[in-house]
Structure 1
Protein backbone atom coordinates (compact mmCIF):
# COMPACT_ATOMS: atom_id res chain seq x y z
CA UNK A 1 0.00 0.00 0.00
CA UNK A 2 1.53 3.37 -1.07
CA UNK A 3 1.64 6.49 1.10
CA UNK A 4 -1.42 8.08 -0.55
CA UNK A 5 -3.49 4.92 -0.13
CA UNK A 6 -2.47 4.68 3.54
CA UNK A 7 -3.43 8.32 4.06
CA UNK A 8 -6.86 7.73 2.49
CA UNK A 9 -7.36 4.64 4.63
CA UNK A 10 -6.54 6.54 7.80
CA UNK A 11 -8.87 9.37 6.78
CA UNK A 12 -11.65 6.89 6.03
CA UNK A 13 -11.18 5.13 9.37
CA UNK A 14 -11.21 8.46 11.24
CA UNK A 15 -14.36 9.60 9.44
CA UNK A 16 -16.15 6.31 10.16
CA UNK A 17 -15.21 6.35 13.84
CA UNK A 18 -16.33 10.00 14.09
CA UNK A 19 -19.64 9.13 12.43
CA UNK A 20 -20.23 6.22 14.79
CA UNK A 21 -19.35 8.39 17.79
CA UNK A 22 -21.92 10.94 16.60
CA UNK A 23 -24.61 8.29 16.16
CA UNK A 24 -23.73 6.63 19.46
CA UNK A 25 -24.31 9.93 21.26
CA UNK A 26 -27.37 11.40 19.51
CA UNK A 27 -29.35 8.15 19.39
CA UNK A 28 -29.21 7.91 23.16
CA UNK A 29 -31.48 10.96 23.32
CA UNK A 30 -34.34 9.43 21.31
CA UNK A 31 -35.81 8.36 24.66
CA UNK A 32 -36.39 12.08 25.41
CA UNK A 33 -38.43 12.38 22.22
CA UNK A 34 -40.41 9.29 23.12
CA UNK A 35 -41.52 10.86 26.37
CA UNK A 36 -43.35 13.72 24.65
CA UNK A 37 -44.03 13.14 20.94
CA UNK A 38 -44.63 10.11 18.73
CA UNK A 39 -42.45 8.23 16.28
CA UNK A 40 -44.41 9.50 13.26
CA UNK A 41 -44.27 13.16 14.26
CA UNK A 42 -40.55 12.81 14.93
CA UNK A 43 -39.83 11.48 11.44
CA UNK A 44 -42.13 13.98 9.75
CA UNK A 45 -40.54 17.00 11.43
CA UNK A 46 -37.03 15.62 11.08
CA UNK A 47 -37.73 15.11 7.37
CA UNK A 48 -38.79 18.75 7.04
CA UNK A 49 -35.45 19.71 8.60
CA UNK A 50 -33.12 17.29 6.82
CA UNK A 51 -34.34 17.58 3.22
CA UNK A 52 -33.24 21.24 2.96
CA UNK A 53 -29.85 20.26 4.38
CA UNK A 54 -29.51 17.60 1.67
CA UNK A 55 -30.48 20.16 -0.99
CA UNK A 56 -27.76 22.43 0.39
CA UNK A 57 -25.21 19.61 0.06
CA UNK A 58 -26.15 19.32 -3.60
CA UNK A 59 -25.96 23.08 -4.21
CA UNK A 60 -22.44 23.30 -2.80
CA UNK A 61 -21.25 20.51 -5.07
CA UNK A 62 -21.48 17.18 -3.25
CA UNK A 63 -23.68 15.50 -5.86
CA UNK A 64 -26.75 15.81 -8.03
CA UNK A 65 -30.33 15.44 -6.84
CA UNK A 66 -31.42 13.96 -10.18
CA UNK A 67 -31.75 10.13 -9.97
CA UNK A 68 -30.60 7.95 -12.83
CA UNK A 69 -33.31 5.33 -12.21
CA UNK A 70 -36.14 6.85 -10.19
CA UNK A 71 -37.99 3.58 -9.49
CA UNK A 72 -34.92 1.91 -8.04
CA UNK A 73 -34.11 4.89 -5.85
CA UNK A 74 -37.71 4.91 -4.57
CA UNK A 75 -37.52 1.19 -3.71
CA UNK A 76 -34.20 1.61 -1.90
CA UNK A 77 -35.51 4.67 -0.05
CA UNK A 78 -38.61 2.79 1.16
CA UNK A 79 -36.49 -0.13 2.41
CA UNK A 80 -34.23 2.29 4.26
CA UNK A 81 -37.25 4.11 5.70
CA UNK A 82 -38.76 0.90 7.08
CA UNK A 83 -35.40 0.02 8.65
CA UNK A 84 -35.17 3.39 10.37
CA UNK A 85 -38.82 3.29 11.53
CA UNK A 86 -38.10 -0.03 13.25
CA UNK A 87 -34.76 1.20 14.60
CA UNK A 88 -35.98 4.47 16.08
CA UNK A 89 -39.19 2.87 17.29
CA UNK A 90 -37.10 0.35 19.21
CA UNK A 91 -34.85 3.10 20.61
CA UNK A 92 -37.88 4.57 22.36
CA UNK A 93 -38.69 1.26 24.03
CA UNK A 94 -35.46 -0.72 24.53
CA UNK A 95 -31.89 -0.13 25.78
CA UNK A 96 -29.59 1.13 23.03
CA UNK A 97 -27.32 -1.93 23.36
CA UNK A 98 -30.18 -4.22 22.34
CA UNK A 99 -31.27 -1.97 19.49
CA UNK A 100 -27.77 -1.67 18.03
CA UNK A 101 -27.30 -5.43 18.32
CA UNK A 102 -30.43 -5.97 16.25
CA UNK A 103 -29.53 -3.36 13.64
CA UNK A 104 -26.03 -4.73 13.15
CA UNK A 105 -27.29 -8.18 12.30
CA UNK A 106 -27.60 -6.65 8.82
CA UNK A 107 -24.31 -8.18 7.50
CA UNK A 108 -25.64 -11.58 8.54
CA UNK A 109 -28.89 -10.97 6.67
CA UNK A 110 -26.92 -9.80 3.62
CA UNK A 111 -25.03 -13.10 3.52
CA UNK A 112 -28.22 -15.17 3.94
CA UNK A 113 -30.24 -13.18 1.38
CA UNK A 114 -27.52 -13.16 -1.27
CA UNK A 115 -27.02 -16.91 -0.80
CA UNK A 116 -30.71 -17.90 -0.86
CA UNK A 117 -32.17 -15.45 -3.38
CA UNK A 118 -29.27 -14.11 -5.43
CA UNK A 119 -27.61 -17.55 -5.61
CA UNK A 120 -24.21 -16.26 -4.49
CA UNK A 121 -22.03 -19.06 -3.19
CA UNK A 122 -20.93 -18.64 0.42
CA UNK A 123 -18.03 -20.48 1.98
CA UNK A 124 -17.59 -22.03 5.42
CA UNK A 125 -16.22 -18.81 6.95
CA UNK A 126 -19.38 -16.88 6.13
CA UNK A 127 -21.52 -19.75 7.43
CA UNK A 128 -19.50 -19.58 10.66
CA UNK A 129 -20.02 -15.80 10.79
CA UNK A 130 -23.80 -16.22 10.49
CA UNK A 131 -23.82 -18.76 13.33
CA UNK A 132 -21.62 -16.57 15.54
CA UNK A 133 -23.68 -13.46 14.84
CA UNK A 134 -26.97 -15.23 15.49
CA UNK A 135 -25.65 -16.53 18.81
CA UNK A 136 -24.48 -13.04 19.75
CA UNK A 137 -27.92 -11.61 18.94
CA UNK A 138 -29.58 -14.13 21.24
CA UNK A 139 -27.16 -13.22 24.03
CA UNK A 140 -27.92 -9.51 23.69
CA UNK A 141 -31.69 -9.69 23.20
CA UNK A 142 -32.13 -12.53 25.71
CA UNK A 143 -35.61 -13.61 24.57
CA UNK A 144 -37.70 -15.32 27.23
CA UNK A 145 -39.98 -18.00 25.69
CA UNK A 146 -42.18 -17.97 28.80
CA UNK A 147 -42.72 -14.19 28.64
CA UNK A 148 -41.98 -13.25 25.04
CA UNK A 149 -42.06 -9.53 24.19
CA UNK A 150 -42.62 -8.74 20.51
CA UNK A 151 -40.76 -5.46 20.93
CA UNK A 152 -37.40 -7.23 20.89
CA UNK A 153 -38.07 -8.21 17.26
CA UNK A 154 -38.10 -4.56 16.15
CA UNK A 155 -34.29 -4.16 16.13
CA UNK A 156 -33.94 -7.43 14.19
CA UNK A 157 -36.50 -6.21 11.64
CA UNK A 158 -34.45 -3.02 11.41
CA UNK A 159 -31.39 -5.16 10.63
CA UNK A 160 -33.30 -7.11 7.96
CA UNK A 161 -34.54 -4.02 6.11
CA UNK A 162 -31.16 -2.29 6.55
CA UNK A 163 -29.63 -5.31 4.81
CA UNK A 164 -32.20 -5.15 2.01
CA UNK A 165 -31.47 -1.45 1.55
CA UNK A 166 -27.73 -2.21 1.41
CA UNK A 167 -28.28 -4.89 -1.23
CA UNK A 168 -30.47 -2.49 -3.22
CA UNK A 169 -27.75 0.16 -2.97
CA UNK A 170 -25.16 -2.18 -4.46
CA UNK A 171 -27.25 -4.06 -7.01
CA UNK A 172 -29.90 -1.54 -8.08
CA UNK A 173 -28.53 1.94 -7.40
CA UNK A 174 -24.98 1.78 -8.76
CA UNK A 175 -24.16 5.09 -10.40
CA UNK A 176 -26.56 7.12 -8.27
CA UNK A 177 -25.09 10.09 -6.43
CA UNK A 178 -24.69 9.91 -2.67
CA UNK A 179 -26.89 12.99 -2.29
CA UNK A 180 -29.73 11.33 -4.24
CA UNK A 181 -29.64 8.26 -1.99
CA UNK A 182 -29.38 10.34 1.18
CA UNK A 183 -32.15 12.69 0.08
CA UNK A 184 -34.40 9.83 -1.02
CA UNK A 185 -34.05 8.06 2.32
CA UNK A 186 -34.76 11.24 4.32
CA UNK A 187 -37.73 12.18 2.12
CA UNK A 188 -39.18 8.67 2.39
CA UNK A 189 -38.89 8.79 6.18
CA UNK A 190 -40.66 12.14 6.26
CA UNK A 191 -43.48 10.87 4.04
CA UNK A 192 -43.88 7.70 6.11
CA UNK A 193 -44.06 9.89 9.20
CA UNK A 194 -46.75 12.02 7.55
CA UNK A 195 -48.65 8.87 6.60
CA UNK A 196 -48.54 7.62 10.18
CA UNK A 197 -49.85 10.94 11.46
CA UNK A 198 -52.73 10.93 8.97
CA UNK A 199 -53.64 7.35 9.92
CA UNK A 200 -53.68 8.17 13.63
CA UNK A 201 -55.76 11.29 12.94
CA UNK A 202 -58.35 9.21 11.08
CA UNK A 203 -58.20 6.23 13.45
CA UNK A 204 -57.03 7.61 16.82
CA UNK A 205 -55.97 5.28 19.61
CA UNK A 206 -55.23 6.01 23.23
CA UNK A 207 -51.46 6.17 23.65
CA UNK A 208 -49.95 5.35 27.06
CA UNK A 209 -47.97 8.20 28.63
CA UNK A 210 -44.20 8.36 28.27
CA UNK A 211 -42.05 6.16 26.00
CA UNK A 212 -44.64 3.35 26.01
CA UNK A 213 -46.85 5.51 23.77
CA UNK A 214 -44.09 6.35 21.26
CA UNK A 215 -45.49 4.17 18.46
CA UNK A 216 -49.16 5.05 19.04
CA UNK A 217 -48.99 8.79 19.67
CA UNK A 218 -50.33 11.17 17.01
CA UNK A 219 -49.68 14.87 16.59
CA UNK A 220 -48.60 16.68 19.76
CA UNK A 221 -48.40 20.45 20.00
CA UNK A 222 -46.65 22.36 21.41
CA UNK A 223 -43.52 20.23 21.47
CA UNK A 224 -40.98 22.62 22.91
CA UNK A 225 -39.33 20.07 25.20
CA UNK A 226 -38.79 17.64 22.31
CA UNK A 227 -37.75 20.25 19.72
CA UNK A 228 -34.04 20.47 20.72
CA UNK A 229 -33.67 16.68 20.43
CA UNK A 230 -35.34 16.68 16.99
CA UNK A 231 -32.91 19.37 15.82
CA UNK A 232 -30.01 17.35 17.27
CA UNK A 233 -31.17 14.28 15.35
CA UNK A 234 -31.72 16.19 12.10
CA UNK A 235 -28.32 17.89 12.03
CA UNK A 236 -26.41 14.99 13.60
CA UNK A 237 -27.83 12.34 11.26
CA UNK A 238 -27.01 14.32 8.11
CA UNK A 239 -23.45 14.93 9.35
CA UNK A 240 -22.98 11.29 10.35
CA UNK A 241 -24.38 9.85 7.10
CA UNK A 242 -22.23 12.24 5.09
CA UNK A 243 -19.10 11.09 6.98
CA UNK A 244 -20.06 7.44 6.48
CA UNK A 245 -20.49 7.96 2.75
CA UNK A 246 -17.21 9.85 2.45
CA UNK A 247 -15.42 7.13 4.41
CA UNK A 248 -16.58 4.47 1.96
CA UNK A 249 -15.49 6.68 -0.95
CA UNK A 250 -11.97 7.12 0.46
CA UNK A 251 -11.17 3.62 1.76
CA UNK A 252 -11.58 -0.04 0.89
CA UNK A 253 -15.22 -0.83 1.86
CA UNK A 254 -14.39 -4.19 3.42
CA UNK A 255 -11.84 -2.53 5.70
CA UNK A 256 -13.81 0.64 6.45
CA UNK A 257 -16.92 -1.37 7.29
CA UNK A 258 -15.20 -2.96 10.27
CA UNK A 259 -14.94 0.47 11.94
CA UNK A 260 -18.73 0.85 11.69
CA UNK A 261 -19.00 -1.60 14.57
CA UNK A 262 -17.40 0.95 16.88
CA UNK A 263 -20.92 2.31 17.42
CA UNK A 264 -21.61 -0.78 19.52
CA UNK A 265 -18.94 0.51 21.90
CA UNK A 266 -19.78 4.23 21.79
CA UNK A 267 -23.55 3.88 22.14
CA UNK A 268 -23.68 1.59 25.21
CA UNK A 269 -20.64 3.33 26.78
CA UNK A 270 -22.31 6.74 26.51
CA UNK A 271 -25.55 5.26 27.90
CA UNK A 272 -23.60 3.85 30.84
CA UNK A 273 -21.65 7.02 31.65
CA UNK A 274 -24.45 9.56 31.14
CA UNK A 275 -27.62 7.60 31.94
CA UNK A 276 -26.30 4.74 34.09
CA UNK A 277 -27.73 2.23 31.61
CA UNK A 278 -25.51 -0.81 32.07
CA UNK A 279 -24.82 -3.87 29.94
CA UNK A 280 -24.93 -7.31 31.52
CA UNK A 281 -22.01 -9.75 31.13
CA UNK A 282 -23.87 -12.00 28.67
CA UNK A 283 -24.94 -8.98 26.65
CA UNK A 284 -21.30 -7.89 26.55
CA UNK A 285 -20.36 -11.30 25.20
CA UNK A 286 -23.16 -11.05 22.64
CA UNK A 287 -21.96 -7.64 21.41
CA UNK A 288 -18.47 -9.08 21.04
CA UNK A 289 -19.79 -12.01 19.01
CA UNK A 290 -21.75 -9.73 16.66
CA UNK A 291 -18.66 -7.57 16.10
CA UNK A 292 -16.61 -10.72 15.47
CA UNK A 293 -19.18 -11.98 12.95
CA UNK A 294 -19.14 -8.65 11.11
CA UNK A 295 -15.35 -8.68 11.08
CA UNK A 296 -15.26 -12.20 9.59
CA UNK A 297 -17.70 -11.20 6.85
CA UNK A 298 -15.75 -8.02 6.08
CA UNK A 299 -12.41 -9.84 5.89
CA UNK A 300 -13.83 -12.59 3.66
CA UNK A 301 -15.28 -9.94 1.32
CA UNK A 302 -11.84 -8.45 0.67
Structure 2
Protein backbone atom coordinates (compact mmCIF):
# COMPACT_ATOMS: atom_id res chain seq x y z
CA UNK A 1 0.00 0.00 0.00
CA UNK A 2 1.40 3.38 -1.03
CA UNK A 3 1.62 6.56 1.04
CA UNK A 4 -1.15 8.04 -1.10
CA UNK A 5 -3.44 5.12 -0.26
CA UNK A 6 -2.60 5.48 3.44
CA UNK A 7 -3.39 9.19 3.47
CA UNK A 8 -6.86 8.44 2.08
CA UNK A 9 -7.73 6.13 4.97
CA UNK A 10 -10.01 7.56 7.67
CA UNK A 11 -8.17 8.43 10.88
CA UNK A 12 -10.30 7.35 13.89
CA UNK A 13 -8.08 8.54 16.71
CA UNK A 14 -10.63 8.39 19.55
CA UNK A 15 -11.63 4.81 18.68
CA UNK A 16 -7.95 3.91 18.57
CA UNK A 17 -7.44 5.50 22.00
CA UNK A 18 -10.23 3.35 23.47
CA UNK A 19 -8.63 0.22 22.00
CA UNK A 20 -5.21 1.12 23.41
CA UNK A 21 -6.76 1.68 26.84
CA UNK A 22 -8.31 -1.80 26.70
CA UNK A 23 -4.97 -3.22 25.59
CA UNK A 24 -3.17 -1.52 28.50
CA UNK A 25 -5.63 -2.85 31.09
CA UNK A 26 -5.36 -6.42 29.79
CA UNK A 27 -1.60 -6.49 29.26
CA UNK A 28 -0.98 -4.66 32.54
CA UNK A 29 -2.77 -7.51 34.32
CA UNK A 30 -1.17 -10.44 32.49
CA UNK A 31 2.37 -9.01 32.59
CA UNK A 32 2.18 -8.76 36.38
CA UNK A 33 2.19 -12.56 36.47
CA UNK A 34 5.36 -12.97 34.41
CA UNK A 35 7.20 -12.96 37.75
CA UNK A 36 5.27 -16.12 38.67
CA UNK A 37 6.23 -17.78 35.37
CA UNK A 38 9.87 -16.71 35.82
CA UNK A 39 10.11 -18.52 39.15
CA UNK A 40 10.55 -21.85 37.38
CA UNK A 41 10.39 -21.35 33.62
CA UNK A 42 12.64 -19.67 31.10
CA UNK A 43 12.05 -16.81 28.68
CA UNK A 44 12.54 -19.00 25.60
CA UNK A 45 10.23 -21.76 26.77
CA UNK A 46 7.68 -19.14 27.79
CA UNK A 47 7.66 -17.58 24.30
CA UNK A 48 7.52 -20.95 22.54
CA UNK A 49 4.77 -22.32 24.79
CA UNK A 50 2.72 -19.12 24.70
CA UNK A 51 2.93 -19.01 20.91
CA UNK A 52 1.69 -22.60 20.58
CA UNK A 53 -1.21 -21.82 22.92
CA UNK A 54 -2.04 -18.60 21.07
CA UNK A 55 -2.13 -20.42 17.74
CA UNK A 56 -4.34 -23.15 19.23
CA UNK A 57 -6.81 -20.46 20.34
CA UNK A 58 -6.69 -18.77 16.93
CA UNK A 59 -7.33 -22.05 15.12
CA UNK A 60 -10.17 -22.95 17.51
CA UNK A 61 -11.84 -19.60 16.74
CA UNK A 62 -11.11 -19.75 13.01
CA UNK A 63 -14.48 -21.17 11.90
CA UNK A 64 -16.84 -19.92 14.68
CA UNK A 65 -15.68 -16.30 14.32
CA UNK A 66 -14.90 -16.42 10.60
CA UNK A 67 -11.28 -15.39 11.09
CA UNK A 68 -8.97 -14.85 8.13
CA UNK A 69 -5.38 -15.82 8.84
CA UNK A 70 -4.06 -15.85 5.27
CA UNK A 71 -2.01 -12.69 4.60
CA UNK A 72 -2.87 -10.44 1.66
CA UNK A 73 0.76 -9.36 1.48
CA UNK A 74 2.92 -12.17 2.86
CA UNK A 75 6.18 -10.23 2.58
CA UNK A 76 4.80 -7.28 4.56
CA UNK A 77 3.38 -9.50 7.32
CA UNK A 78 6.62 -11.50 7.61
CA UNK A 79 8.67 -8.29 7.77
CA UNK A 80 6.43 -6.73 10.41
CA UNK A 81 6.39 -9.93 12.49
CA UNK A 82 10.18 -10.24 12.36
CA UNK A 83 10.64 -6.60 13.38
CA UNK A 84 8.22 -6.77 16.31
CA UNK A 85 9.48 -10.17 17.44
CA UNK A 86 13.11 -9.01 17.36
CA UNK A 87 12.22 -5.90 19.36
CA UNK A 88 10.57 -7.95 22.10
CA UNK A 89 13.47 -10.41 22.12
CA UNK A 90 16.01 -7.62 22.67
CA UNK A 91 13.77 -6.06 25.34
CA UNK A 92 13.44 -9.23 27.40
CA UNK A 93 17.08 -10.16 26.79
CA UNK A 94 18.24 -6.83 28.20
CA UNK A 95 16.44 -7.66 31.45
CA UNK A 96 19.17 -10.23 32.12
CA UNK A 97 21.81 -7.60 32.88
CA UNK A 98 20.11 -4.20 33.17
CA UNK A 99 17.73 -2.75 35.77
CA UNK A 100 14.07 -3.18 34.84
CA UNK A 101 13.51 0.59 35.10
CA UNK A 102 16.28 1.34 32.62
CA UNK A 103 15.01 -1.28 30.17
CA UNK A 104 11.45 0.02 30.38
CA UNK A 105 12.59 3.61 29.92
CA UNK A 106 14.46 2.55 26.79
CA UNK A 107 11.44 0.77 25.32
CA UNK A 108 9.24 3.80 25.92
CA UNK A 109 11.38 5.86 23.58
CA UNK A 110 9.22 4.17 20.91
CA UNK A 111 6.81 7.13 20.41
CA UNK A 112 9.80 9.35 19.62
CA UNK A 113 10.97 6.88 16.99
CA UNK A 114 7.42 6.60 15.64
CA UNK A 115 7.38 10.33 14.96
CA UNK A 116 10.84 10.26 13.38
CA UNK A 117 10.05 7.25 11.17
CA UNK A 118 6.61 8.59 10.18
CA UNK A 119 8.05 11.99 9.33
CA UNK A 120 11.33 11.16 7.62
CA UNK A 121 10.62 7.73 6.10
CA UNK A 122 6.97 8.16 5.13
CA UNK A 123 6.67 11.94 4.80
CA UNK A 124 3.88 12.41 7.35
CA UNK A 125 3.34 15.86 8.83
CA UNK A 126 4.44 16.09 12.48
CA UNK A 127 2.67 18.91 14.25
CA UNK A 128 3.87 20.72 17.37
CA UNK A 129 1.06 19.22 19.49
CA UNK A 130 2.25 15.67 18.84
CA UNK A 131 5.87 16.60 19.46
CA UNK A 132 4.89 18.24 22.76
CA UNK A 133 2.71 15.25 23.72
CA UNK A 134 5.59 12.81 23.17
CA UNK A 135 7.90 14.98 25.27
CA UNK A 136 5.36 15.33 28.10
CA UNK A 137 4.54 11.61 28.03
CA UNK A 138 8.18 10.56 28.13
CA UNK A 139 8.90 12.85 31.08
CA UNK A 140 5.95 11.20 32.80
CA UNK A 141 7.36 7.75 32.04
CA UNK A 142 10.72 8.65 33.59
CA UNK A 143 8.95 10.02 36.66
CA UNK A 144 6.90 6.82 37.05
CA UNK A 145 10.01 4.67 36.72
CA UNK A 146 11.92 6.80 39.20
CA UNK A 147 15.43 8.32 39.28
CA UNK A 148 17.00 4.89 38.77
CA UNK A 149 15.73 4.96 35.18
CA UNK A 150 18.44 7.49 34.38
CA UNK A 151 21.19 5.75 36.32
CA UNK A 152 23.59 3.07 35.20
CA UNK A 153 23.66 4.19 31.58
CA UNK A 154 26.27 2.36 29.53
CA UNK A 155 26.85 0.89 26.09
CA UNK A 156 24.55 -1.99 27.07
CA UNK A 157 21.80 0.53 27.77
CA UNK A 158 21.56 1.09 24.00
CA UNK A 159 19.84 -2.31 23.71
CA UNK A 160 16.48 -1.21 25.21
CA UNK A 161 16.56 1.86 22.97
CA UNK A 162 17.15 -0.45 20.00
CA UNK A 163 14.14 -2.47 21.16
CA UNK A 164 12.13 0.76 21.28
CA UNK A 165 13.21 1.62 17.73
CA UNK A 166 12.22 -1.81 16.40
CA UNK A 167 8.91 -1.70 18.29
CA UNK A 168 8.23 1.73 16.78
CA UNK A 169 9.08 0.54 13.26
CA UNK A 170 6.76 -2.44 13.69
CA UNK A 171 3.94 -0.15 14.82
CA UNK A 172 4.43 2.18 11.86
CA UNK A 173 4.49 -0.87 9.57
CA UNK A 174 1.10 -1.94 10.95
CA UNK A 175 -0.61 0.94 9.15
CA UNK A 176 1.88 1.67 6.36
CA UNK A 177 2.41 -1.90 5.17
CA UNK A 178 -0.42 -3.96 6.70
CA UNK A 179 -3.50 -1.71 6.80
CA UNK A 180 -5.47 -4.19 4.67
CA UNK A 181 -4.57 -7.21 6.83
CA UNK A 182 -6.91 -8.49 9.51
CA UNK A 183 -5.87 -8.14 13.13
CA UNK A 184 -5.82 -11.93 13.48
CA UNK A 185 -3.39 -12.24 10.54
CA UNK A 186 -0.94 -9.87 12.21
CA UNK A 187 -1.47 -11.58 15.57
CA UNK A 188 -0.68 -14.94 14.03
CA UNK A 189 2.48 -13.57 12.44
CA UNK A 190 3.60 -11.93 15.68
CA UNK A 191 3.19 -15.09 17.74
CA UNK A 192 4.76 -17.25 15.04
CA UNK A 193 7.86 -15.04 15.02
CA UNK A 194 8.17 -15.16 18.83
CA UNK A 195 7.53 -18.90 18.81
CA UNK A 196 10.32 -19.51 16.31
CA UNK A 197 12.70 -17.33 18.31
CA UNK A 198 11.71 -19.14 21.51
CA UNK A 199 12.28 -22.56 19.93
CA UNK A 200 15.72 -21.48 18.68
CA UNK A 201 16.64 -20.25 22.16
CA UNK A 202 15.49 -23.53 23.74
CA UNK A 203 17.52 -25.53 21.25
CA UNK A 204 20.66 -23.47 21.83
CA UNK A 205 20.37 -23.71 25.62
CA UNK A 206 19.75 -27.47 25.38
CA UNK A 207 23.01 -27.93 23.48
CA UNK A 208 24.98 -25.34 25.46
CA UNK A 209 23.32 -25.08 28.90
CA UNK A 210 24.29 -22.27 31.22
CA UNK A 211 24.78 -22.14 34.98
CA UNK A 212 21.37 -20.70 35.85
CA UNK A 213 20.53 -18.96 39.14
CA UNK A 214 17.31 -19.93 40.87
CA UNK A 215 14.05 -18.05 40.54
CA UNK A 216 13.35 -15.04 38.30
CA UNK A 217 17.07 -14.19 38.13
CA UNK A 218 17.55 -17.14 35.77
CA UNK A 219 14.62 -16.31 33.48
CA UNK A 220 16.64 -15.38 30.38
CA UNK A 221 19.39 -17.99 30.81
CA UNK A 222 17.15 -20.95 31.66
CA UNK A 223 16.72 -23.69 29.06
CA UNK A 224 13.71 -26.01 28.73
CA UNK A 225 12.37 -27.52 31.96
CA UNK A 226 9.42 -29.81 32.66
CA UNK A 227 6.50 -27.36 32.99
CA UNK A 228 4.37 -27.37 36.11
CA UNK A 229 0.65 -26.68 36.25
CA UNK A 230 1.36 -23.16 37.49
CA UNK A 231 3.64 -22.41 34.55
CA UNK A 232 1.11 -23.77 32.04
CA UNK A 233 -1.85 -21.97 33.61
CA UNK A 234 -0.27 -18.51 33.70
CA UNK A 235 1.30 -18.99 30.28
CA UNK A 236 -2.18 -19.78 28.94
CA UNK A 237 -3.54 -16.65 30.65
CA UNK A 238 -0.71 -14.75 28.94
CA UNK A 239 -1.57 -16.30 25.57
CA UNK A 240 -5.28 -15.52 25.80
CA UNK A 241 -4.71 -12.05 27.24
CA UNK A 242 -2.06 -11.23 24.66
CA UNK A 243 -4.31 -12.35 21.81
CA UNK A 244 -7.06 -10.01 22.95
CA UNK A 245 -4.85 -7.13 24.10
CA UNK A 246 -2.33 -7.15 21.25
CA UNK A 247 -5.19 -7.60 18.81
CA UNK A 248 -6.77 -4.41 20.16
CA UNK A 249 -3.44 -2.60 19.86
CA UNK A 250 -2.94 -3.78 16.27
CA UNK A 251 -6.42 -2.60 15.33
CA UNK A 252 -5.70 0.78 16.94
CA UNK A 253 -2.64 1.25 14.72
CA UNK A 254 -4.77 0.36 11.69
CA UNK A 255 -7.43 2.94 12.61
CA UNK A 256 -5.25 5.98 13.29
CA UNK A 257 -1.91 7.57 12.57
CA UNK A 258 0.91 5.77 14.38
CA UNK A 259 2.30 9.04 15.77
CA UNK A 260 -0.95 9.61 17.64
CA UNK A 261 -1.58 6.04 18.78
CA UNK A 262 1.97 5.61 20.11
CA UNK A 263 1.44 8.38 22.67
CA UNK A 264 -1.62 6.59 24.06
CA UNK A 265 0.55 3.52 24.71
CA UNK A 266 2.15 5.40 27.59
CA UNK A 267 -1.01 4.47 29.55
CA UNK A 268 0.31 0.92 29.98
CA UNK A 269 2.66 2.11 32.74
CA UNK A 270 -0.04 3.49 35.05
CA UNK A 271 -2.23 0.49 34.17
CA UNK A 272 0.54 -1.92 35.17
CA UNK A 273 1.19 0.08 38.34
CA UNK A 274 -2.50 -0.06 39.26
CA UNK A 275 -2.58 -3.84 38.83
CA UNK A 276 0.65 -4.17 40.84
CA UNK A 277 -1.05 -2.34 43.69
CA UNK A 278 -4.22 -4.43 43.46
CA UNK A 279 -2.44 -7.80 43.10
CA UNK A 280 0.79 -7.42 45.04
CA UNK A 281 0.11 -4.41 47.26
CA UNK A 282 2.95 -2.41 45.69
CA UNK A 283 2.46 1.31 46.18
CA UNK A 284 3.55 4.32 44.14
CA UNK A 285 5.61 7.30 45.19
CA UNK A 286 4.24 10.86 44.83
CA UNK A 287 6.73 11.33 41.96
CA UNK A 288 5.28 8.33 40.15
CA UNK A 289 1.72 9.61 40.63
CA UNK A 290 2.76 12.98 39.20
CA UNK A 291 4.29 11.10 36.25
CA UNK A 292 1.02 9.28 35.60
CA UNK A 293 -0.76 12.62 35.52
CA UNK A 294 1.67 13.79 32.83
CA UNK A 295 1.05 10.59 30.87
CA UNK A 296 -2.69 11.27 31.00
CA UNK A 297 -2.10 14.85 29.89
CA UNK A 298 -0.09 13.62 26.89
CA UNK A 299 -2.93 11.36 25.81
CA UNK A 300 -5.52 14.10 26.30
CA UNK A 301 -3.46 16.50 24.17
CA UNK A 302 -3.60 14.08 21.26
CA UNK A 303 -7.27 13.17 21.78
CA UNK A 304 -8.44 16.78 22.02
CA UNK A 305 -6.38 17.74 18.99
CA UNK A 306 -7.90 14.86 17.04
CA UNK A 307 -11.43 15.87 18.05
CA UNK A 308 -10.83 19.48 16.98
CA UNK A 309 -9.77 18.15 13.56
CA UNK A 310 -12.78 15.89 13.35
CA UNK A 311 -10.87 12.60 13.61
Q: TM-score interval w.r.t. the shorter chain?
A: 0.7 to 0.9
Structure 2: distance between partners of 1:116 and 1:12: 23
Given the alignment of the two structures, is residue 126 of structure 1 paired with residue 130 of structure 2, yes or no? yes
CA distance in 2, matches of 1:150, 1:287: 29
Q: 1:149 to 1:294 in 2, by over 3 A?
A: farther
* Aligned match for 2:32, one of 23, 28, 31: 28
Instruction: Quickly say closer, same or farther: Cα 1:236–1:98, change in 2 above 3 A.
Output: farther
Measured after TM superposition, the shift of residue 204 of structure 1 is: 2.2
> How do residues 37-76 of structure 1 correspond to structure 2 at under 5 angstroms?
37-76=41-80
1:293: Cα distance to partner? 3.2
Deviation of the 1:184 alpha carbon: 0.5
| Counterpart for residue 6 of structure 2 | none
Is contact 1:58–1:179 with CA below 8 Å preserved after alignment? no
Q: Show the counterpart of 2:182.
A: 177
SS in 1 for 2:33: helix
Q: Is the 8 A contact 1:39 1:215 kept in 2?
A: yes
Determine whether 1:270 maps to 2:236: no
Q: Which runs of 5 or more structure 1 residues have no equivalent in the other structure? A: 1-7
Matched, 1:161 2:166: yes
Unaligned runs of 5+ in 2: 1-11
Q: What is the CA-CA distance between 1:83 and the residue it aligns to? A: 3.2
Corresponding position of 2:196 = 191
- Counterpart Cα distance in 1 of 2:224 and 2:101: 29
Name the stretch that deviates more: 197-206 or 102-111.
102-111
Further displaced range: 205-214 or 186-195: 205-214
- The change in CA–CA distance for 1:156 and 1:276 in structure 2 (over 3 A counts) is farther
Q: 1:215 to 1:93 in 2, by over 3 A?
A: same
* Bigger shift: residues 35-44 or 150-159: 150-159
After superposition, residues 1-302 of structure 1 pair within 5 angstroms as: 17-86=21-90, 103-139=107-143, 140=145, 142-143=147-148, 147-148=152-153, 156-244=161-249, 261-297=266-302, 299-300=304-305, 302=311
Q: Distance in 2 between matches of 1:146 and 1:255?
A: 29
Deviations 1:24-64 (A, max 9, x none): 21110001111111110000011111112122333234432
Q: Is the 8 A contact 1:26 1:233 kept in 2?
A: yes
For 2:175 and 2:131, the matched residues in 1 are separated by: 22
Cα deviations by residue, 1:117-143 (Å, 9 ceiling, x for unpaired) = 334342322332333234334332534
* Distance verdict in 2 for CA 1:290–1:103, change over 3 Å: farther
2:105–2:142 contact (8 Å) kept in structure 1: no
Any idea what the Cα deviations from partners look like across 1:144-197, whole Å, max 9, x if unmatched?
776447887666544332211111111111211222111110111111100111
TM-score norm. by structure 1 comes to 0.79
Measure how far apart 1:98 and its partner are.
7.5
CA shift, 1:287, in A, is 3.4
- In the alignment, what sits opposite 2:5? none
Are the equivalent residues in 1 in contact too, given 2:14–2:303 (CA < 8 A)? Answer: no
